[in-house]
Amino acid sequence: MGTDEGDERDEDGGSDPQPGVPDTDFDSDGSVPKTPGVSVDRPASESKTIPGDRIGPVDEEYRYHDPDSGDRASGHDHGDGHRHTDDGDECGCGSSCGCGDHEHGRGDAAEREQVPGASDRRPSRRSEVVPDGGARPANVDDEGNLRDLEFTKPAEGKSQDVYDSPADMRVQRPGEEDLALDTPSYEIRSRMNDIETPDSKTWFMELDEAVIDDGRCIQCGTCVASCPSDSIGIGDDGLPELVKMCTGCSLCWDFCPRGGLRYERQWKITGGEDNVKGAGDPITEFSATVEDEWRENAQDGGLVTATLVKLLEAGEIDGALVATESDDDPWKAESFLATTPEECIENAGSWYNQTMALGNLNLGQWEEKLDVPLDEASLALVGTPCEIEGIRALQDFEWGYASQEHGVRAIDYTIALMCTKNFNYRRLMGEKLAEERDIDLAEVEKMDVLHGKMMVMGEDGEMLVEEDVENFHDAALKGCDECADFTGYCADLTVGSVGSSEEYSSVIVRTEQGLDAWNAVEEDLDYHDLEDRSAVGKLQGWDKKKAFESLERPFDPDAPRFIEYTEHAENYGTEVAPHDRGH
């Protein structure tokens, strides 16, 4: 950087070296040292180039090495800043020299006589100027061809030491080497950490602090789908994690059903006034079953699978986001896009862990399975009530969702599964069943939660486990306790087993879209009016009571849809701005 006062000079009159240009030290014999790692092979007819503008003193005598002869030739200084050798290359500058009349650049006598003192010394002519404004490099011949260079092979298995400072040395401003930092970082980052976060911003770190780290995450994936910068991914533990820099847009917080989304307000927005009382005021309700042979592998009456098959066959949808079994872990559910009736039937059945369904709405990963452009795709989503709340809220707003945008807009049909709670896979399958009850997960054929019982059946139909579901509550997701949405108020269709006899499914049609789906599958069903509405109502009431006991905030369907982080923190005792303490 320059100043208005001019360049400062050293005591000896020289100027400070330019920034980024290293000082040049000369060997004891006055020659310029070779660049480490690079040697230049010159023809025997050329002498070594000495810079015309010297940076330091050079001894009276110098020597250069003729690589072909192995000999050394001596030279002497004429006082004009150039060396003259005894073998005819008088200046010793080599082929890049512009000094005068040797074989590389001979001047005439008349020209020399025009220069004062020409009889005593040679003219001080500049080297040939090249387009970049400098002189031709010493390793380029008269034709402009680069001579052969020999490079030192880089060291393997370690970084090249291009600096003389230790690799782990902190970089600070000059004079502040003793600056203390909690973690190795640049000083500017330390100073930025002192800047207070604007009140209007909520970061992923707040969501992490209040929901994920607190064990309240329900693994719906809404935060992943809401992030416009695609900064949130899914970790190996099935939980959301930051994979790129957070921009502080607040959307992950706003749409989280355990964070900023007041989910009971979303019921009212989606379904109207009646959706906040009892089991809601659905259009119609049935107990139904599928008579096809494939139903043996389905849950209860097979209504979900039958509906998806009919929608695909009718061309109403291009695929359905469902759950499938992991290739690596038995009875672990993962998201899967079924695009054929066969894939729907193959993945019939229920699973008892979340799949982060909304975190898999990046249609690019399913592009090879879709026969239509991504922005034209129509999909059905099968999920838990909290996942349906999340997608409904996302669809209520118009803005870009990065890679999830097409997936958010593609969901045209939603089917909610009646749900009181879901489970952590490792705790339920690994600890509760495999370890504590010695169940071989590879031999499990079917699982169900029915009439308050956890039931696990083997391949031959043997009942391996039949216990009160309360015995497995410590394997359940903690955030499920706060949910009062047993019957999926925001869905087009709700399907479950409560309220119907064995091998029948209870079906609640909530919207006109849901009625269209029902009409598409009706002819393939054996159905009648819902057998026991009171059973659905009682379980819905129990679920609400549990939620009211667990919620630390007021339950209010008429309050604003979004809850400020500071309000949440006040109710739950969560730290405000956790990143300010180095989260």
pLDDT digits (tens, 9 = 90+) for 373-415: 999 999 999 999 999 999 999 999 887 666 788 999 999 999 9
Both 529 and 581 in one domain: the answer is: no
Pick the last residue of a domain from 113, 140, 167: 140
pLDDT value at 55 more than 50: no
Q: What is the pLDDT of residues 510-554, one digit of tens each?
A: 988 999 999 999 999 999 999 999 999 999 999 999 999 999 999
pLDDT band at 256 (very low <50, low <70, confident <90, very high): very high
pLDDT value at 40 more than 50: no
Pick the last residue of a domain from 476, 491, 508: 476
Is residue 343 situated within a structural domain?
A: yes
The CATH number for 575's domain is: 3.30.70.20
Is residue 165 situated within a structural domain?
A: no
pLDDT value at 138 more than 70: no
Q: Of 9 and 173, which is predicted with more confidence?
A: 173
Long-range contacts, 323-326 (Cβ 8 Å, 24+)? 323/347, 323/351, 323/355, 323/357, 323/382, 325/351
Q: How far is CA 335 from the centre of its chain?
A: 19
Is residue 326 situated within a structural domain?
A: yes
pLDDT value at 459 more than 90: no
pLDDT of residue 502: 87
Pick the last residue of a domain from 98, 120, 140: 140
pLDDT of residue 204: 93
Both 400 and 530 in one domain: the answer is: yes
Both 225 and 326 in one domain: the answer is: no
Percentage of residues in the chain with pLDDT exceeding 70?
64
Is residue 414 situated within a structural domain?
A: yes
Both 229 and 323 in one domain: the answer is: no
Both 506 and 582 in one domain: the answer is: no
Q: Of 209 and 60, which is predicted with more confidence?
A: 209
Verdict on whether the full-model pTM lies above 0.75? no
Number of domains, the chain: 4
Both 413 and 517 in one domain: the answer is: yes
Q: Of 139 and 85, which is predicted with more confidence?
A: 139
Domain that holds residue 214: 198-261+562-583
DSSP for 142-191 reads: TT-PBPPEEEPPPPSSS----SSS-TTPPP--TT-TT---SSS--HHHHH
pLDDT of residue 150: 66
pLDDT value at 351 more than 70: yes
Is residue 185 situated within a structural domain?
A: no
Both 506 and 458 in one domain: the answer is: no
Both 381 and 430 in one domain: the answer is: no
Is residue 135 situated within a structural domain?
A: yes
Separation of alpha carbons 252 and 236, rounded Å: 20
pLDDT of residue 347: 92
Is residue 234 situated within a structural domain?
A: yes
Q: What is the pLDDT of residues 553-577, one digit of tens each?
A: 999 999 999 999 999 999 999 888 7
Both 365 and 449 in one domain: the answer is: no
Is residue 134 situated within a structural domain?
A: yes
pLDDT value at 326 more than 70: yes
270's enclosing H/E stretch is helix 263-271
The CATH number for 455's domain is: 3.10.450.750
What are 573's strand-pairing partners? none
pLDDT band at 297 (very low <50, low <70, confident <90, very high): low
Q: What's the first-to-final CA gap in the chain, in angstroms?
A: 37
Q: What is the pLDDT of residues 63-120, one digit of tens each?
A: 444 444 444 444 444 444 444 444 444 454 544 444 444 444 444 444 444 444 444 4
* Mean of per-residue pLDDT scores for the chain: 77
pLDDT of residue 19: 45
Both 403 and 435 in one domain: the answer is: no
Both 329 and 383 in one domain: the answer is: yes
Both 291 and 405 in one domain: the answer is: yes
pLDDT of residue 106: 42
